[in-house]
Amino acid sequence: MAYLQTPFSFQVTSRHALTKPPITSSSHLSPTKPSKWIRDFGSKSLSLALSGAITFGFSLAVLAAKEGVNKPELLPKEFSPVIDVAGFLSDGQEKRLAQEIDDIEKDTGFKLRVLAQNYPDTPGLAIKDFWQVDDRTIVFVADPTFGNILNFNVGASVDLDIPRSFWSRLAGKYGNMFYWKEKGEDASIEAAVMAISDCLKEPVGPNNCSEVK
């Protein structure tokens, strides 16, 4: 996602990626138009994905293909804001990220959730209920399948405070293939979480989240 454009307009709620895997996606959740959720990706999504474009809509990023993957057996038995089914993170890294995510929620009221996967090995649709995804939730799916490892789906309330361009800049900086292949998938994930944390904690204003730290 080098500077990424937004091919789709923001709509609220479950849409695109639970049906077809984009490369990087950012969205906003809404309870309306679930059928468009399945329709909007089409052939467009793959070409945009391959070019590093960012897409919007509650897709939960690369969670499922056309048929809709739903594998609750891949979910942990106990709640965790970080789920690593791909093995990118060490136990220590998972704990540090979980603590940072807990601090974000306490400080801002926003919920960050991180799923590391290698499609098609993904819990898919099951993640929605497990995490109780709502309009204050950011779902961050780390999946290198199509090149850019950073995929975001952003709740409507988050979208009111965070510029949409932040997500594309973030993916462009830490999600590109050159970065994660050199530094490692874990480094991309950790850097993205810290950048999101810094952004969410900034005072809301015309210049908030203007830089990806």
What was the pLDDT predicted at 54?
Answer: 36
Within 8 A by CB and 6+ apart from 167, the residues are: 26, 54, 152, 154
**What pLDDT digit, counting tens, does each position of 53-71 carry?**
333 333 444 554 445 688 9
pLDDT along the chain (213 residues), means of 10: 29 33 41 37 34 37 58 95 97 97 96 95 92 95 92 93 93 95 97 96 88 86
What was the pLDDT predicted at 205?
Answer: 86
What was the pLDDT predicted at 113?
Answer: 97
What was the pLDDT predicted at 63?
Answer: 52
What was the pLDDT predicted at 70?
Answer: 87
What was the pLDDT predicted at 141?
Answer: 94
What was the pLDDT predicted at 35?
Answer: 36
The model carries a pTM of 0.73
What was the pLDDT predicted at 125?
Answer: 87
What was the pLDDT predicted at 67?
Answer: 54
What was the pLDDT predicted at 23?
Answer: 34
What was the pLDDT predicted at 192?
Answer: 97
Domain ranges in the chain are 16-200
Domain 16-200: top CATH class = alpha beta
